[in-house]
């Protein structure tokens, strides 16, 4: 039975811990310069309907380090759902490849790919979620704190795809998760309810950033306008202004708080230079960890 990684909840709590342990091992191999050819001779097809720096480069470099090969298929290459039906692409790519990773707009498309592919499908971001990102994020938190006990994460900004993946994670690992967002930019209600119903974590939605960050271990933000929402950019800039992560807000959080951002950042909008370049920021460790964690995910799915 092939396994997909479309949502963090595709892994059990124990499997999440195993992926984090494997990520740490693989990171050490890279640091020592030791070969770790766990996917020798395997290929990964990477479908991108949207731009990417981190996801593309970390998957491609990661696959090479594991002894395999990755193929980039950009928006103009296969015309997912336009030149060819999603299910036909899924079957086709399964003929040539051992793994498929896809970044798509419509979440239904990743579900359809996974349904029809005979090889494992990995979600490289959809309009709904971004599981690889948040697996790398929690690995980074673990590295910096040394443990995941009594964790408070405050996400400041849009209740978007990245926040949704934090909710999925909160269904598996205990944490206090708070979103501080403008009214009207709350996350998917069903997902919030499902996360609360799991009874693992405490979920709070607030409209007061200053109050929400108090005592947080992590102050996390993301762009105000996600890929595909470009028409709303001006309106969002205005509405999200009180939710900028600046030195003042970090002061309300406290010295213990790390600053995280999935990147790319829009400096001067959701975060100031002072914060992202400041001593509490761990954004480039976070970005580096995409590599190690995704390698661990690919190895895990490959059995
Ligand atoms: N964080 C992230 O996924 O970055 P890219 O969009 O550059 O891949
Ligand atoms: N929310 C952002 C994340 C980018 C990695 C977007 O979807 O554009």
Q: Is 262 a catalytic residue?
A: yes
Q: Is the dihedral of CA 212, 217, 223, 226 positive or negative?
A: negative
pLDDT for position 196 = 98
Query: Is the distance from CB of 64 to CB of 87 less than 8 angstroms?
Result: no
Nearest protein CA to atom 3 of ligand 2, as residue = 226
pLDDT for position 63 = 98
Residues having CB closer than 6 A to ligand 1 are 52-55, 125, 133, 262-264
Phi, psi of 51 (to 5 degrees): -65, 165
- Report the C-alpha gap between 257 and 273 in whole angstroms: 17
In order of their start, the domains of the chain are 8-130+288-301 (3.40.50.1370), 133-286 (3.40.50.1370)
Owner of token pair 């370049």: 277
Residues having CB closer than 6 A to ligand 2 are 125, 160-162, 222-223, 226-227, 262
What is the chain's pLDDT, residue by residue, as a tens digit (303 residues)?
Answer: 999 999 999 999 999 999 999 999 999 999 999 999 999 999 999 999 999 999 999 999 999 999 999 999 999 999 999 999 999 999 999 999 999 999 999 999 999 999 999 999 999 999 999 999 999 999 999 999 999 999 999 999 999 999 999 999 999 999 999 999 999 999 999 999 999 999 999 999 999 999 999 999 999 999 999 999 999 999 999 999 999 999 999 999 999 999 999 999 999 999 999 999 999 999 999 999 999 999 999 999 999
Nearest protein CA to atom 2 of ligand 1, as residue = 54
pLDDT for position 292 = 99
Report the run of H or E that residue 17 belongs to, with start and end. helix 13-32
pLDDT for position 71 = 98
pLDDT for position 150 = 98
- Report the C-alpha gap between 238 and 153 in whole angstroms: 25
Residue of 95, 132, 181, 262 marked active site: 262
């Amino acid at each position: 039975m092939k396994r997909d990684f479309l949502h963090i909840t595709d892994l059990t709590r124990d499997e999440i811990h195993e992926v984090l342990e494997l990520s740490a091992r693989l990171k050490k191999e890279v640091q020592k310069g030791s070969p770790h050819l766990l996917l020798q001779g395997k290929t990964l097809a990477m479908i991108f309907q949207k731009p990417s720096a981190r996801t593309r480069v970390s998957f491609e470099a990661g696959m090479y380090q594991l002894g395999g090969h990755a193929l980039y298929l950009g928006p103009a290459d296969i015309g997912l759902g336009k030149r060819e039906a999603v299910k036909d692409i899924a079957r086709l790519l399964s003929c040539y490849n051992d793994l498929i990773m896809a970044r798509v707009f419509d979440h239904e498309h990743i579900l359809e790919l996974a349904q029809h592919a005979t090889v494992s499908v990995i979600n490289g971001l959809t309009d709904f979620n971004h599981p690889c990102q948040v697996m790398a994020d929690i690995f980074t938190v673990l590295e910096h704190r040394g443990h995941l006990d009594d964790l408070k994460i405050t996400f400041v900004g849009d209740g978007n795809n990245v926040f949704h993946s934090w909710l999925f994670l909160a269904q598996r690992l205990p944490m206090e998760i708070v979103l501080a967002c403008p009214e009207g930019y709350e996350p998917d209600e069903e997902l919030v309810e499902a996360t609360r119903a799991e009874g693992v974590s405490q979920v709070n939605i607030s409209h007061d950033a200053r109050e929400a960050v108090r005592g947080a271990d992590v102050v996390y933000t993301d762009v105000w306008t996600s890929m595909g929402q470009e028409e709303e950019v001006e309106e969002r800039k205005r509405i999200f202004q009180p939710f900028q992560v600046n030195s003042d807000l970090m002061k309300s959080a406290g010295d213990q708080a790390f600053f995280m951002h999935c990147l790319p950042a829009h400096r001067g909008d959701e975060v100031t230079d002072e914060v992202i370049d400041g001593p509490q920021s761990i954004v480039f460790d976070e970005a580096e960890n995409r590599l190690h964690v995704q390698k661990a995910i690919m190895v895990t799915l490959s059995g």
